[in-house]
Amino acid sequence: MKPSFASLPAGVVRPLEQADLVRSDAAVKLSGMPLYLTDRIAPDQLRGAILGSPHPHARILRIDTAAACALAGVHAVVTHADIPGQADYGLRRVDRPALCRDRVRYVGDAVAAVAADTLDIAHAALDLIAVEYELLEALTCPEAALSPQAPELHAGGNLLHAHHHRLGDASAADAATVHRVSACYETPRQMHAFLETEGGVAECDGEGGLRLFFANHNPERERQVIAAMLALPAERVHSLGSPVGGSYGGKDELTVQPIAALLAWKTGRSVRLHLGRAQSSDFGVKRHPMRIRMESGCDARGRLTFHHVQILADTGAYATHGPEVLDAALEHAPGPYAWQSVDIAGRLAYTNNGVAGAFRGFGAVQVQFALEQQVDRLAGAAGLDPAHFRAQNLKPADAPGPLGQTVVPFDGPQRALAALVQHPLWTAHRTRHWSDGPHVRYRHGIGLALVHRSDGFGKGFPFGCRMELALAADGAIELRSGFTELGQNLLAAVRNTCMHFLHCSAQDLRPVLGDTRCTPDSGPVAASRATTLVWRALQRAAPQWRAQLCAATAALHGLPLESLRLGAGGIHGPAGLVASYARLARLLGAQRPAIAIDQAPEVTPSDAPDTHYVFGACAAAAHAVVDSWTGSIRIVEMALVGAVGPVVSAMGYMGQLEGGALMGQALCTQEALDCVDGHYQQRNLDSYLVPTLADAPMFDVWAVEGLPEGDTAGPRGTGEISVNIAAPACANAIACALQAPIDRLPVRPETVFRLLEGASI
């Protein structure tokens, strides 16, 4: 969208107008380098392939690999019996077998794997593996899975996780209520559709260890899992992440790495294992589908009273991040609003559907779609403008968090909403009258949404991390971190933050990311936490760093310490450059400075488990056009106002806001991975359609950079909040166009026709 605002609202910037509009890694990526890790091809490399279960639920009676082993060109056939160490892995719940022993729990569950000279031979060998199954009842409905009569998919039952939160005076809230709205919302299973499907290379290092090259969020965890599975000391496993390919959360948990590692260990050879799109669809994790019942109320003046929420989520066959996803849904269900009372409960069921796990927007986007529909409906019932209704119901900046926990004071929702209502897209909403007759083919609607989004991990999880700041032998300033670049532009965030706090130039820096050989354990690059933690770490370590380098230079050159400062190229004095970083590194030799930065967990002091301490916010308006003849929907414009503190990288901010918003839009209008009797109905991108540039609206992205005085949390991450805001904004826009609430995503043509038939316009 071309800027139509001569001057932006106070405190707002448009990152598009800032300088760094070229990613630092753009040239190398456009040249085709670096390669995907699955393009790491060696002459003597073996190809791996996995035999997945064709059944959603079955008992394994027998696995016969003799014929496969005898096939020429086959170097290894592995089953669960070949695992020398820990056979299962998982995050909060260790429940997922690397290779199934006695039972398969979903279509695609790995039963055996082969390493062979070629991929054709590997696939031929898979065909020769005889697996005898006894079919079992498949539980593909979460309600049925939680019934007392349902067979147990895991020891302990099919209820993986549940929580219930009650806050406030329910009786008083009920008595004050004048307007009530209730609905049951459903959100779909969504596929990550990253460019590079799950894959990589595992190879023996010739020294009794193993090297792993897989796109992942946490190389340290990957090597720990593999070492435990192979009964190796962790230091004998070297794990390296990938700078390309994308993840969106889908590579947070391990998938094919254990199997590739086992094949490499068994053969002593390099093994390349790469899932095709169809097998990736079966095997990989997806967004949790949810059914959300909400009943909410407000008083005669439009003041929110009560909010009752019940969530049922389907996690599929294994836990991965399922409990954390449900916790996020519960925590974000009240939004940034001041309810008199809330009663929020959620259950997470094991089923025999494919596995659901981490996905950008992480558990919150489902309830935010439902909540923002509820808020619009309450505003309508109270006869109030939806923006005004939201503004009058926002919590004060210093109020407790959504579940009553202590949080960092934050006024982002107020600031984002105040800016958005001044955007031309929203102000036009007051004057345009598009859908003014029953025979109008194209119906237009403008929707508004407001969300807040937790930053980092919740209480009880390892939010802390370690990084290192060091002067390398060649004079490069290195920030070493286990965080991985997956395409999200973390490199630029690291460079810009280093330049900001260390006063050096981009040419002086060399970020070192995601390599267990030379980076410390920083935990996963997830939950939009990396940029925030890098900022806080450097903010704390920079004074020590500058002091060490200046002191060393003063001693070497006999200069007064107070006359020196760090700058581009090296240490400067009143007359200019005194010593380059390279010269300083040579002179110091082994005494070069290296600072270990341990970033302590920043968690709420409240007792409430699994809650967060830091939040960001975003407001958005979307313009939807609905074709009443075909039922198709097009989002033509979207305005996004993020309130996440200082913009560390303008290009990174733009990329995350626009890219995530398109993903959220697709959740609302386009994407749904249908699962029938445990079988996905779409297994390729010619039937599961993801949005392209042709589907993208005109974006206008603003940033509210200010934070409350005294805020020490710094910039909040932007990796997820754009998905969180776009889905409800688009849904509200469609509801506006149809003059009917939306209760199910995505909004398909048949839904459009159904709503048009009942609409009053």
Q: How many residues comprise the chain? A: 761
Q: Which residues contact 579 (CB under 8 A, 6 or more apart)?
A: 553, 556, 557, 570, 571, 587
Looking at residue 244, what is its pLDDT?
87
Looking at residue 1, what is its pLDDT?
45
| Cβ–Cβ < 8 Å for 294, 307 | yes
Question: What total number of domains does the chain contain?
Answer: 2
Which DSSP letter does residue 505 get? -
Residue 479 has pLDDT above 80, yes or no: yes
Q: For residue 398, count other CB atoms closer than 10 A to its CB.
A: 11
pLDDT band at 761 (very low <50, low <70, confident <90, very high): very low
Residue 28 has pLDDT above 80, yes or no: yes
Q: Quote the mean pLDDT of the chain.
A: 94
Residues 486 and 440 in one domain: no
Q: Does the model's pTM come out above 0.75? A: yes
Asked if residue 64 belongs to a domain, the reply is no
Residues 614 and 664 in one domain: yes
Residues 635 and 742 in one domain: yes
Q: Which residue has the higher pLDDT, 436 or 219?
A: 219
Looking at residue 20, what is its pLDDT?
62
Q: Which of 536, 565, 599 is the last residue of a domain?
A: 599
Pairing mode, if any, of strands 237-240 and 565-567?
Answer: unpaired
Residues 477 and 614 in one domain: no
Residues 435 and 473 in one domain: no
Residues 529 and 639 in one domain: no
Pairing mode, if any, of strands 442-454 and 615-627?
Answer: antiparallel
Residues 452 and 469 in one domain: no
Residue 285 has pLDDT above 50, yes or no: yes
Looking at residue 433, what is its pLDDT?
56
The beta strands (E) that lie in 495-543 are given as 512-513
CATH number at residue 589: 3.30.365.10
Q: What is the pLDDT of residues 133-177, one digit of tens each?
A: 999 999 999 999 999 999 999 999 999 999 999 999 999 999 999
CA distances from 418 to 29, 388, 537, 616, 761 (A): 39, 10, 32, 15, 30
Looking at residue 431, what is its pLDDT?
64
Asked if residue 136 belongs to a domain, the reply is no
Q: What is the pLDDT of residues 703-751, one digit of tens each?
A: 999 999 999 899 999 999 999 999 999 999 999 999 999 999 999 999 9
Residues 513 and 573 in one domain: yes
- Domain ranges, residue 522: 465-599
Looking at residue 435, what is its pLDDT?
54
Looking at residue 91, what is its pLDDT?
86
The beta strands (E) that lie in 351-464 are given as 442-454
Spatial distance between the Cα atoms of 200 and 398, rounded to a whole number of angstroms: 47
Residues 591 and 625 in one domain: no
CA distances from 730 to 278, 337, 435, 637, 720 (A): 30, 20, 17, 10, 16
CA distances from 713 to 399, 446, 602 (A): 17, 34, 9
> Can you tell me which residue has the tokens 């009058």?
392
Q: What is the pLDDT of residues 339-353, one digit of tens each?
A: 999 999 999 999 999
Question: Hey, which residues does 312 pair with through a beta bridge?
Answer: 291, 347
Residue 3 has pLDDT above 60, yes or no: no
Residue 280 has pLDDT above 70, yes or no: yes
Asked if residue 188 belongs to a domain, the reply is no
Phi, psi for 715 (deg, rounded to 5): -65, 140
